[in-house]
């Protein structure tokens, strides 16, 4: 099929998506990015939404084969932030004019139901900010308690739509369970974000196309497609990472297929290309997720003086992002960047 015609279709089959992901001529790839940028502008506008990530803990009781934070990785220094520190950091972020925080951790039972509920409630009392949780696959009663406490959004990746690969990457876990959790979260009224990891070992273009179609089928509020970058001291440490081209093509095709979902340019894009974040924003993305975790945790052996400069560093993160975003004619949103979807049909997401 003619590529121009394919780029302007109303609906996309699996084969259409594979054809777009396989584009290899430079002019066709550039047309794909241009079309994705147009669709982004039509459905999401020019605003770029900032979601400030605070990694509250890097402890995890799971052993996902690709993940640096897996329990069996004894090479990393583990940390947890204190609740008072998280609340203070959230206030600082809100004062910078950033209206979403993402509280992120591995599967860490130290942050139990009550502690997370307390955090959500306290943050919402002190700051005008949307609270997104990214705490892994937790119990259904915990999701419910955290929604009641005021949480707005939940991020839980399906990682792959291929059930066999899912079981390979995540020991003793199943894709169907993960999808039930996602549907339950939607049913509770969370704005839900999910997505894949591009370039994982054994993944094919067919898999990536199915990953995009799964996001469409479940109708997430936000779809996240992030690159696989091998981490040292993990079972996949010697596997080949994905290149920027396939990552950007996936984001662009996802935008064309998924239309009005938020789609981030993941921070990890900057690890595979110096200008990765901007390239992502020019290929269909409308969200960025800068990391506001205090540097003293990320670089545990750096002198304590870093602590005194945290706020200044946070301001710098924001002003640097502003400059980058304005350089491509876009602007940082001054709102929470809620879902573009209007109504959540609760009946559709009954589970069990």
Per the CB < 8 A criterion, the answer to whether 204 and 246 are in contact is: no
- What residues are paired with 226 via a beta bridge? 197
CB of 64 to ligand SF4, least distance (A): 3
Q: How far is Cα 152 from Cα 75, in angstroms, rounded to an integer?
A: 34
Chain centre to alpha carbon of residue 190? 15
- At 97, which helix (H) or strand (E)? none
Residue 135 touching ligand SF4 (CB under 6 A): no
- The residue within the footprint of ligand SF4, chosen from 20, 32, 39, 67 (CB under 6 A), is 67
Q: Is 165 in the site for ligand SF4 (CB under 6 A)?
A: no
Tell whether residue 64 is a contact of ligand SF4 (CB under 6 A).
yes
Number of helices (H), then strands (E), in the chain: 15, 10
Q: CB nearer to ligand SF4: give 62 or 314.
A: 62
Q: Which of 69, 90, 210, 234 binds ligand SF4 (CB under 6 A)?
A: 69
Q: Which of 76, 107, 145, 213 touches ligand SF4 by CB under 6 A?
A: 107
Beta-carbon contacts of 340 under 8 Å, excluding residues fewer than 6 positions away, are: 43, 44, 221, 260, 261, 262
Considering the rule CB under 6 A, would residue 106 count as an interface residue with ligand SF4?
A: yes
Sheet of 264-265, strands arranged across: 264-265, 287-288, 47-50, 331-332
Residue 59 and residue 67 in contact, taking contact as beta carbons nearer than 8 Å: no
Site for ligand SF4, residues 41 to 60, rule: CB under 6 A: 60
CA 200/CA 236 separation, integer angstroms:
9
Closest to ligand SF4 by CB, 173 or 216:
173
DSSP H stretches of helix in 53-102: 83-95
- Residue 227 found at the interface with ligand SF4 (CB under 6 A): no
Q: Could you say whether residue 104 binds ligand SF4 (CB under 6 A)?
A: no
The site for ligand SF4, by CB under 6 A, has a size of 9
In sequence order, which ranges of 82-151 are alpha helices (DSSP H)?
Answer: 83-95, 113-126, 140-148
Q: Which of 37, 102, 136, 333 binds ligand SF4 (CB under 6 A)?
A: 136
Block residue for tokens 């069996």? 72
Whichever of 60 and 117 has its CB closer to ligand SF4, that residue is 60
In whole angstroms, give the CA distance from residue 151 to residue 344. 16
**Stretch of residues binding ligand SF4 (CB under 6 A), selected from 8-16, 67-75, 184-192, 255-263:** 67-75
Q: Does 70 bind ligand SF4 (CB under 6 A)?
A: yes
Nearer to ligand SF4 (CB atom), residue 69 or residue 250: 69
Tell the smallest beta-carbon distance from residue 341 to ligand SF4 (Å): 26
Q: Is 194 near ligand SF4 (CB under 6 A)?
A: no
Under the binding rule (CB under 6 A), the answer on residue 62 touching ligand SF4 is yes
As a whole number of Å, the CA-based R_g of the chain is: 19
Q: Can you give the binding site for ligand SF4, defined by CB under 6 A?
A: 60, 62, 64, 67, 69-70, 106-107, 136
């Amino acid at each position: 099929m003619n590529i121009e015609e394919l780029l302007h279709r109303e609906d996309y089959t699996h084969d259409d998506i594979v054809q777009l992901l396989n584009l290899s001529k430079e002019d066709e790839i550039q047309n794909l990015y241009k079309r994705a940028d147009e669709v982004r502008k039509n459905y999401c506008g020019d605003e770029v939404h900032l979601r400030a990530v605070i990694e509250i803990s890097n402890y995890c009781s799971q052993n996902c084969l690709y993940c640096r934070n897996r329990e069996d990785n004894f090479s990393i220094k583990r940390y947890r932030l204190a609740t008072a520190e998280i609340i203070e950091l959230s206030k600082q972020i809100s004062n910078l004019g950033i209206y979403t925080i993402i509280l992120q951790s591995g599967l860490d039972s130290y942050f139990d139901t009550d502690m997370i509920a307390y955090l959500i409630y306290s943050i919402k009392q002190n700051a005008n900010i949307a609270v997104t949780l990214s705490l892994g696959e937790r119990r259904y009663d915990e999701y419910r308690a955290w929604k009641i406490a005021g949480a707005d959004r939940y991020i839980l990746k399906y990682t792959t739509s291929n059930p066999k690969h899912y079981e390979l990457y995540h020991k003793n876990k199943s894709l169907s369970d993960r999808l039930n959790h996602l549907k339950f979260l939607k049913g509770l009224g969370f704005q839900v974000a999910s997505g894949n990891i591009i370039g994982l070992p054994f993944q094919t273009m067919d898999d990536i196309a199915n990953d995009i179609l799964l996001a469409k089928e479940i109708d997430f509020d936000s779809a996240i497609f992030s690159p696989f970058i091998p981490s040292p001291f993990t079972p996949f440490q010697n596997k080949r990472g994905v290149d920027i081209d396939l990552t950007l093509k996936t984001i662009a095709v996802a935008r064309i297929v998924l239309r009005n979902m938020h789609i981030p340019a993941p921070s990890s894009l900057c690890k595979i290309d110096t200008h990765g974040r901007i390239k992502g924003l020019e290929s269909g993305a409308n969200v960025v997720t800068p990391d506001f975790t205090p540097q003293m945790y990320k670089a545990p052996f750096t002198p304590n003086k870093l602590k005194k400069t945290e706020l200044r560093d946070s301001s710098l993160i924001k002003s640097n992002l502003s400059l980058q975003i304005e350089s491509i004619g876009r602007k940082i949103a001054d709102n929470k960047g809620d879902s573009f979807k209007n109504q959540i049909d609760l009946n559709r997401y009954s589970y069990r």
